[in-house]
Structure 1
Amino acid sequence: MPEAIEFVLLDSSYEIVGKEPVIILWGVTLDGKRIVLLDRRFRPYFYALISRDYEGKAEEVVAAIRRLSMAKSPIIEAKVVSKKYFGRPRKAVKVTTVIPESVREYREAVKKLEGVEDSLEADIRFAMRYLIDKKLYPFTAYRVRAENAGRSPGFRVDSVYTIVEDPEPIADITSIDIPEMRVLAFDIEVYSKRGSPNPSRDPVIIISIKDSKGNEKLLEANNYDDRNVLREFIEYIRSFDPDIIVGYNSNNFDWPYLIERAHRIGVKLDVTRRVGAEPSMSVYGHVSVQGRLNVDLYNYVEEMHEIKVKTLEEVAEYLGVMRKSERVLIEWWRIPDYWDDEKKRPLLKRYALDDVRATYGLAEKILPFAIQLSTVTGVPLDQVGAMGVGFRLEWYLMRAAHDMNELVPNRVKRREESYKGAVVLKPLKGVHENVVVLDFSSMYPNIMIKYNVGPDTIIDDPSECEKYSGCYVAPEVGHMFRRSPSGFFKTVLENLIALRKQVREKMKEFPPDSPEYRIYDERQKALKVLANASYGYMGWVHARWYCKRCAEAVTAWGRNLILSAIEYARKLGLKVIYGDTDSLFVTYDIEKVKKLIEFVEKQLGFEIKIDKVYKRVFFTEAKKRYVGLLEDGRMDIVGFEAVRGDWCELAKEVQEKVAEIILKTGDINRAISYIREVVRKLREGKIPITKLVIWKTLTKRIEEYEHEAPHVTAARRMKEAGYDVAPGDKIGYIIVKGHGSISSRAYPYFMVDSSKVDTEYYIDHQIVPAAMRILSYFGVTEKQLKAASSGHRSLFDFFAAKK
């Protein structure tokens, strides 16, 4: 007998059982049981778009499609349906078959039929198609009628059910108690004495674990035999039974390494909830662990542009999870030294434990947002972080299209196309005090809404504008968009923005420290991310709803908007220091800034707000390059970063310190003295050699390099010494004293004694150039950085002398 099951959806997948597809829904009941729900009723389908001149002969097209039916996966239905395609009414044939993989084969055959313009929606994955059609979203509660099949030897869950009727949503996001998710964080340490770790030879010596029940555990290899480590890891996962597994860069390193290593040593990595299945690489480059949600936190950190260095320890410190000064830090390439030395090994264990604690701490910060992003887009948690923002928005648009009876366009291969971008003013060079940054709120989405921009609203013939209550005409480019009715993008964006407004209003009903407030706050952030991605999406050549003219028109309106604001700011007497896309840097005169905001909102019809205030900010004459000191004392460095791959750690450290000295003290001499002190320490051998290692990745086999770059020479020397090197390996090298080219003096870091370091190379090609990226703008020369001390001079004196 069917019973009513109340559950929270985690993920979906499917399998072929007895020549028919079975949808698998992974979930947690509201009383905390892990379950699987099977739906055998759903079938794969796609649409054949009927050519306009064949719409009167649609049944002929249907008959031709039916004749294509194959015994291995017959066409069980072909019927004419009324849809919209780019906003225009169209006829299509919905073609339904049995085996999902056969859809691709039918798609190509159907496209060739007379009267068929194209095959559509054939590339939507079957399990996602189910979620879209049934309006199911991850981390949302549903009630479903299902028959209890009890426990199944094929699934590691409490119960398996067969769905009888479609699930129905129970309530909104905070009116029920979502069962607590079991979360497990892990991190691996690998023994590699030959450069980049290689799973075919290098053992996993430690796996550190921390879970949501507060347990912490270190799994250790038996010296250099790691079979027991992997077996204990498998046992721990199966015993704790996590719903979510988190790591840091785990999709790129930890999981692929464990998968390959387990294969090499003959251990089955049986950690999924589907008996017999092992973790595997899946779409968007994420590792799928069936029945569990594998989340790589690094995917989210990659999008945090304010964090310049994205190592685990740097990110953990930036986000307030763990200070670097309070944890053990060991360079990954020195791990073998600590493992080999019994006295140092305890320190390595503390390092491994600090790593997993930092990872779990990041999960506590990031998972709430990630979960809401998954819920809003409808994309399972393990995929939504790994995919780019364009894909996230696209899945949201695909759900909206289904609800609006719109056919989803195919993804088409296109060449990159350029178009005129945003306004970026040449900055006023120098140091400026008390500067406010004004930011247009969601400028591009609001332009798209105001002017009804979209691929379905664009008008080619001006005479057609009369039919649509007129047209909006983009400045400069002249592209026209109908005034009414609202297009697909305008409707979607209005819904997104209205939903975000509702969520933010709901937030106010709860105390800021309450769980309900936090859920709503994370959801409104997720909605904002999607809305802000809409403009970039239209100009992305991989987009299904690609529209170059739309993106071009939006930037034209954006340029017009910011230039109007700049003109009015100058009329008010505000000094405009810089402008970039949707933000303005002006002197912070409170009353005048208020008038500027009022003008933008009332006369131009767009919202603008104060984003940040700098106590002091320094601009070069270059665009997108400045260093600011915020009111709370934090440094904001944009465009100055030593981003080249061949900078050592010391060079990056020097540049950041110079920027800090310049803005916090205004003392150029102090910055010069700091550099001289670094130079002195370097010459005296007082700088740790680890700060001088330069890392570069081999992109091809050594034999394929025509020119002898330093990292290639170092890699050759590693190979000659018996080390394996391959494309993808990171080569760490040091430049040593001697004659000849720099490349000829590049040696692997572990082969170099500190006395052999060419300190003058590091001074001339690393330290001084990194500092000069900032100091050169104050008239400082390289010679000064190496010379004896001169009289005191501040940067304010410098700019005063320039006037």
Structure 2
Amino acid sequence: YSKETSILPNLITELANAREDAKAHNNDILSYAIKIIMNSFYGVLGSNVCRFYHPELASSITMRGHQILNLTRSWFEEAGERVIYGDTDSLFVTLSDSALSDQAVKEKGQDLCLMMNRKWQQWCQDEYQIPCHLELEFEQTYNRFFMPTIRGQAEGSKKRYAGLANGKLIFKGLEAVRSDWTPFARAFQRELFERLFNDEPAEPFIKERVNQLYQGEFDKQLVYQKRLSRPLCEYTKVTPPHVRAARIADQRRLALGVKPEFELGRQSVQYFYSVQGVLPYSTQSDLINIDYDHYLEKQIEPIADSVLSLFGSSLAKITSRQLGLL
């Protein structure tokens, strides 16, 4: 590598400057598009069809990413603060002084961020005699924070958490923001965490939702929606639920002498679970013989147990329904 004459750093710098300009003008779409282009450098540099292909270039990106996170974490710990989580481009820090006010926490976070940036500038100069283009940003403070653990393990699952910041619920990777979960499950998780973060009891709410589910009060919210990624005929080895529903819907249309709707794929399928199995959804009149046990086990239980496990409980323990027999 050359410190004086280079091509790739200039390309990255040009894109980085363009992204900062987009951010300054609140152009989130352009900023995101440029971010995707910048991130694509990792993939193309590791592909032998790229003009700049070199395996060491791609591997050095991941190596530096790990080094940056690990070294930054060690600096936080040297400063007396504890890092509780980190992923590809961020670190979550819990402050040692729990008595700080919200404003003091924000100021402390900004001070720590400034200190880290100064450390990186000094490190790059000492190690390689080059200027540092890395800049950490202080993004958010959470009054409450929750990260579900990996089933059967003590550590948290990556890129999945919920937090309360400035009175606003924030979800990342959890069911509340996933389109492949039903509207019922997404709303259930949001309401559950509102109670959890505000120190309200969770069990009465969960029991009430279970009873309402079986009474049919949320039938309209029990519809799944998922997009077909390819034509129906190409699903041969595995047949996911939305594919089964699409095939049933097309068979019904053919029986009526109507052209199939999902044959070519590339569109969303709405479906629900009846006691007979997966069925396509078109209108509210389709929602008969709903398999409520399925929604209890697959939609309520995982969300409820992630919270109830904190209190040594589970959905099976607080309800009269024996989930293990469903």
Q: Kindly provide the CA deviation profile for residues 91-115 of structure 1, in whole angstroms up to 9, marking residues without a partner as x.
A: xxxxxxxxxxxxxxxxxxxxxxxxx
Deviations 1:49-77 (A, max 9, x none): xxxxxxxxxxxxxxxxxxxxxxxxxxxxx
Equivalent residue in structure 1 for 2:220, among 674, 678, 690: 690
Cα displacement (A) at 1:582: 3.1
Q: Which runs of 5+ in 1 are unaligned?
A: 1-480, 505-517, 738-743, 789-803
Higher relative contact order (CA 8 A, sep 6+): 1
How many residues align structurally? 281
The structure with more strand, counted as a fraction of residues = 1
**Structure whose alpha-carbon radius of gyration is higher:** 1
Corresponding residue for 1:735? 273
| CA pair 697-565 structure 1, distance change in 2 beyond 3 A | closer
- The one of 743, 762, 775 equivalent to 2:295 is 762
Matched to 2:299, the amino acid is Q
User: What is the rounded CA distance, in whole Å, between the counterparts of 2:60 and 2:195 in structure 1?
Assistant: 44
The residue type paired with residue 483 of structure 1 is K
Deviation at 1:543, TM superposition (A): 5.0
| 8 Å CA contact retained: 1:537, 1:546 | no
1:609 correspondence with 2:137: yes
Partner of 1:558 in structure 2? 65
Aligned equivalent of 1:594: 111
Determine which structure has the larger helix proportion and give its number. Answer: 2
Retained in 2: the 8 A contact 1:685–1:754?
Answer: no
Q: Distance in 2 between matches of 1:532 and 1:734?
A: 35
Measured against aligned partners, the alpha-carbon deviations of 1:557-598 in whole angstroms (never above 9, x if no partner) come to 332233222112112211221222332211246558625632
Q: 2:319 aligns with which of 786, 796, 799?
A: 786
Quote the Cα distance in structure 2 between the aligned partners of 1:686 and 1:546.
Answer: 58
The match for 1:747 is 279
Relative to structure 1, the CA distance from residue 623 to residue 646 in structure 2 (aligned partners, 3 Å threshold; closer, same or farther) is closer
The amino acid of 1:766's aligned partner reads Q
Residue 9 (structure 2) pairs with residue 490 (structure 1)? yes
In the alignment, is residue 569 of structure 1 matched against residue 73 of structure 2? no
**Secondary structure of 2:171's partner?**
strand
Deviation at 1:533, TM superposition (A): 4.1
Deviation at 1:547, TM superposition (A): 4.1
The change in CA–CA distance for 1:543 and 1:586 in structure 2 (over 3 A counts) is same
Cα distance change of structure 1 residues 547 and 773 upon mapping to structure 2, 3 Å threshold: farther
**Distance of 1:608 and 1:703 partners within structure 2:** 45
For 2:18 and 2:241, locate their aligned partners in 1 and report how far apart those are by CA, in whole Å.
Answer: 55
**Corresponding residue number in structure 1 for 2:211:** 680
Letter in 1 for 2:192: V
- Give me the whole-angstrom Cα distance separating, in 1, the residues matched to 2:207 and 2:317: 9
- 2:34 corresponding residue in structure 1: 530
Determine if contact 1:732/1:748 at 8 Å carries over to the other structure: yes
| Map of 2:91 onto structure 1 | 584
TM-score (norm. length: structure 1): 0.31
CA contact (8 A) 2:84 2:94 kept: yes
Q: How does 1:456-467 map to 2 (within 5 A)?
A: none
Query: For residues 543 and 614 of structure 1, do their structure 2 counterparts lie closer, same or farther at Cα, with a shift above 3 Å needed?
Result: farther
Contact 1:685 1:755 in 2 (8 A): no
Give, in whole Å, the separation in 1 of the partners of 2:248 and 2:72: 60
SS, match of residue 81 in structure 2: coil
Provide the residue aligned with 1:647 in structure 2.
181
SS in 2 for 1:733: strand
Whether contact under 8 Å (2:19, 2:35) holds in the other structure is no
CA deviation after TM superposition for structure 1 residue 773, in Å: 4.3
* Matching of residues 25-424 of structure 1 within 5 Å: none
Instruction: Report the CA distance shift for 1:548/1:746 in structure 2 as closer, same or farther (over 3 A).
Output: same
Deviation at 1:680, TM superposition (A): 1.4
For residues 247 and 31 of structure 2, the distance between their equivalents in structure 1, rounded to whole angstroms, comes to 51
Q: Distance in 1 between matches of 2:238 and 2:15?
A: 53
In structure 2, C-alpha distance between the alignment counterparts of 1:558 and 1:706, rounded to whole Å: 37
State which drifts further: 654-663 or 599-608: 599-608
Q: Distance in 2 between matches of 1:550 and 1:531?
A: 19
**Distance in 2, Cα, partners of 1:497 & 1:696:** 35
Give 1:755 deviation, angstroms. Answer: 5.2
Mark the CA change 1:591 to 1:685 in structure 2 (over 3 Å): closer, same or farther: closer
Residues 574 and 587, structure 1, Cα contact 8 Å, conserved in 2: yes
Paired with 1:523 and 1:712, the residues of 2 have a C-alpha distance of 37
Report the CA distance shift for 1:780/1:601 in structure 2 as closer, same or farther (over 3 A): same
Contact 2:180 2:226 in 1 (8 A): yes
- What's the counterpart of residue 623 of structure 1? 158
Aligned letter for 1:748? P
- The percentage of aligned residue pairs carrying the same residue is 28
User: Which amino acid is 2:11 matched to?
Assistant: V
Q: What is the aligned-residue RMSD (CA, Å)?
A: 3.8
For 1:701 and 1:496, the matched residues in 2 are separated by: 40
**Which deviations, in whole Å up to 9, do the C-alpha atoms of 1:642-665 show, x marking residues without a partner?**
6777632212221232233222x1
The amino acid of 1:765's aligned partner reads: K
Question: SS in structure 2 opposite 1:609?
Answer: coil
Query: Which residue does 2:43 correspond to in 1?
Result: 539
| Post-superposition offset of 1:613 | 0.9
Mapped to 2, the partners of 1:548 and 1:573 lie a distance apart of 38
- In the alignment, residue 779 of structure 1 is paired with which amino acid? G
Describe the shift of the 1:496–1:592 C-alpha distance in structure 2 as closer, same or farther (beyond 3 A).
closer
Q: Are residues 543 and 763 of structure 1, via their aligned partners in 2, closer, same or farther at CA, if it must alter by over 3 Å? A: same
* Paired residues of 2:175 and 2:185 also in contact (CA < 8 A): no
Q: Which runs of 5+ in 2 are unaligned?
A: 98-106, 124-131, 150-155, 322-326
Q: Which residue of 2 aligns with 1:16?
A: none
How far apart are residue 628 of structure 1 and its match?
0.9
Kindly provide the CA deviation profile for residues 604-627 of structure 1, in whole angstroms up to 9, marking residues without a partner as x.
354333111111111232222211
Distance 2:136 2:269 in 1: 48
Equivalent residues of 2:159, 2:172 under 8 A apart: yes
State the one-letter code of the partner of 1:521.
H
Q: Distance in 2 between matches of 1:579 and 1:753?
A: 45
> Judging changes above 3 Å, is the alpha-carbon distance between structure 1 residues 552 and 777 closer, same or farther for their aligned structure 2 residues?
farther
